């Protein structure tokens, strides 16, 4: 049962990291350092709760925060930033999912598979949602979207650590958002074909 709960916890954490990678990583590292719901100590992933790693994540938060603020609504160079965020999400998702499983099991390798998958789901779902929402907002409101994404990611990570079963709801919500966005896009293009 511990393995299943740890697997769910890892999936939920990785999905949250997919939404926004750095603050959920900091939250989980801080919770692990306090042995609150997760503990990496005594595993191959003990570095995830150590000060050096967490400081590196703080620097990443600052760097990407500055990039977000400078870009505002500007999409120039966005491809590079998106690729970096995706790469960070996949790597951190794999590490934290595997670390979550390693807390109670020597068979942590499934985390290296499900972590990136869950992070990719979170990433694609969040980009789809915030992209659709951003199209409808003015520049001022659009600048606040990263804050909403950070809040959603922190909530998803916190719930997944403290109540691992809720990771099922996190993943279900992300799938629902992704499918809903694709359905709306299909309806939009169907409407355009009718107008011809």
Tell me what pLDDT residue 193 has: 52
The single residue listed with the structure tokens 């789901």 is 121
Q: What is the pLDDT along the chain (196 residues), one digit of tens a residue?
A: 789 999 999 999 999 999 999 999 999 999 999 999 999 999 999 999 999 999 999 999 999 888 877 765 554 557 888 899 999 999 999 999 999 999 888 999 999 999 999 999 999 999 888 888 878 888 777 777 888 999 999 999 999 999 999 999 999 999 999 898 776 655 555 554 554 5
The single residue listed with the structure tokens 């994404």 is 149
Tell me what pLDDT residue 69 has: 74
User: Greatest CA separation found in the chain?
Assistant: 64
C-alpha to C-alpha distance for 60 and 67, rounded to whole angstroms: 10
Tell me what pLDDT residue 102 has: 93
Sign of CA dihedral 17, 19, 22, 28: negative
Mention every residue, 6+ apart, whose C-beta is less than 8 A from residue 57.
22, 25, 26, 29
Instruction: Please compute, for residue 20, the number of CA atoms within 13 A of its CA located in the half-sphere on the CB side.
Output: 24
Dihedral (Cα; 91, 172, 108, 110), 10-degree rounding:
-80
Are the C-beta atoms of 127 and 105 separated by less than 8 Å?
A: no
* Exposure b/e, 22-36, CB count within 10 A at least 16 = b: bbbbbbbbebbbeee
What pLDDT, in 10s, does the model give residues 66-122? 887 776 555 455 788 889 999 999 999 999 999 999 988 899 999 999 999 999 999
pTM of the model: 0.87
Backbone conformation region of residue 14, classed left if phi is above 0, alpha if psi is from -120 to 50, else beta? alpha
Tell me what pLDDT residue 192 has: 46
């Amino acid at each position: 049962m511990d393995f299943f709960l740890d697997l769910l916890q890892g999936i939920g954490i990785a999905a949250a990291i997919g939404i926004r990678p750095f603050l959920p990583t900091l939250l989980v590292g801080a919770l692990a350092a306090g042995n609150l719901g997760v503990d990496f100590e005594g595993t191959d992933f003990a570095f995830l709760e150590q000060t050096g790693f967490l400081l590196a994540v703080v620097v990443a938060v600052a760097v990407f925060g500055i990039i977000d603020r400078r870009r505002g609504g500007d999409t120039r160079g966005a491809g590079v930033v998106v690729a970096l965020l995706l790469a960070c999400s996949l790597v951190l998702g794999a590490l934290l999912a595997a670390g979550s499983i390693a807390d109670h099991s020597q068979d942590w390798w499934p985390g290296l598979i499900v972590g990136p998958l869950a992070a990719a789901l979170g990433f694609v779902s969040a980009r789809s949602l915030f992209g659709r929402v951003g199209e409808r907002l003015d520049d001022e409101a659009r600048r606040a979207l990263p804050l909403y994404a950070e809040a959603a990611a922190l909530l998803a990570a916190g719930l997944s650590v403290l109540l691992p079963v809720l990771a099922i709801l996190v993943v279900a919500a992300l799938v629902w958002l992704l499918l809903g966005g694709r359905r709306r896009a299909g309806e939009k293009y169907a409407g355009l074909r009718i107008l011809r």
